[in-house]
Structures are given as C-alpha cells and as structure tokens.
Homo-oligomer: A and B are copies of this chain.
Amino acid sequence: MRAKSETRRQAILQAAAEVFQETGFERTTMSTICERLGYSKATLYNYFSSKEELFSAVVFEATEAEFQATLEALDSTVEDITLALELFGRRFLTLIYSPQVQAMRRLIVAEAGRSDLGKKSYELGPVRSEADIAQFLQQAMNAGKLRQADARVAAFHLRGLMEAEWFDRFLFQVLKEVTTEEINATVKRAVAAFMAAYGVVVR
C-alpha cells in the first residue's frame, strides 16, 4: 500500500512538473494535472491539498539533490577557511537565486499566511541550512581558523552578508538574472567582511 502511494506521488510530481513547465504556474490548474494523469480530482487532492503545495513539492524534489550538495560543499577539509567559505557561498547563491528557487520562495511568501506551507518549508530549507552552517563554523572555531563566537549568530551573519546585495531586489522582483561573475564578486565581498568580523586576529 505504501509502495503504491509513493509510486503515485512520484507520478503526480512528474506530471505536475511537466504541466507547470509547459503552461506556467498561474495558468496551471489542478484539473489539467488530473487530465494528464487520468486521475480523479479526489485522488490528486488526497496527495496535495492545493496547487501551491504541489508546486512547492515539485521544486523541492527538483532542487533537493543540489541543496544537499551545496551544504556538503561546507568542506572542513579545505585548509583555508576563506576559500572554503567562498566555495560554499558561490554554490549557495547560485542555488537560491536560480529562477526555480526564486519562484518557489516567492510562492511560499505569498502563501505562507494561508496555510502551513511556510512553516513546513522553513523547516525543510532554512532550518537545515542554518544548522549545517553553524556546525561548520563551530568546527572552524574549534580548529582555531575563526575566533570563538556564537556560531549560530555567525551563521546568520554569513548568510546575511551573502544575500545583502540582492535581497531587496529579489523581494520586490526587480532582480534580473544573476551572472556567475556577479555571484563571485558578491561572495568575495561578503566573505571578506565576514572574515574581518570573525577571523582570527593576527598579532
């Protein structure tokens, strides 16, 4: 029974991904997705309670592997902490400012007040990345690569610095495509500021 459910869930996600891609989020209806699958509406709603929830699941599915890989790029074997943070930062910004993830974040903001989509997404996304970044920074502090500080606050500050230049443009949808050059330059500036604040003072 469970296996069948998971197969169906995957079939729905696959069909939904196709329909969203073909017709865009706005013009996609749950009915269109049902038709594509030959499922009844009742069946579809049994798996996903709204178009928004379905869309969010589609994008999570599509980005989960990349998200995991990004967090794994917090590589404590890289000796130079500045390089390690830059490496991570480039992957992180590339991921969250991809058109796909931008669209998902916007949708979540718009829908978060109406359902528990916000809370669920918050736990799946930011909570995990905050914890992983804090843990990485704590290890770097313990290894003497960063000064001792509250690793959780340091993790927030690192992310805040990295997102600072684009945050409002993203929110207000005036952010166009972000180039690799822009990402590299932004990350370099953010990590430089972070290292000035959290690096070990050389005497």
Contacts and interface: CB of A to CB of B under 8 A. Distances in A.
Given A109-B106, A196-B196, A197-B196, A122 B157 contact: no
Contacts of A109: 106, 109-110, 171-173
Among A112, A160, A190, the most chain B Cβ lie within 10 Å of the Cβ of A160
A47 interface: no
A193 to B, nearest CB: 4
B189 A165 contact: no
A193 B157 contact: yes
Interface in A160-203: 160-165, 167-169, 171-174, 189-190, 192-194, 196-198
Contacts of A165: 153, 156, 160
Q: Is the interface of A mostly helix, strand, loop or mixed?
A: helix
Given A106-B109, A167-B160, A171-B108, A189 B122 contact: no
A78 to B, nearest CB: 22
19 contacts: A106-B112, A109-B172, A109-B173, A113-B173, A118-B173, A119-B172, A122-B168, A126-B172, A153-B189, A156-B164, A156-B165, A157-B190, A157-B193, A161-B161, A161-B164, A167-B167, A194-B197, A196-B196, A196-B197
Given A112-B173, A113-B173, A119-B173, 7 more contacts: A105-B171, A109-B109, A112-B172, A130-B168, A157-B193, A159-B164, A161-B161
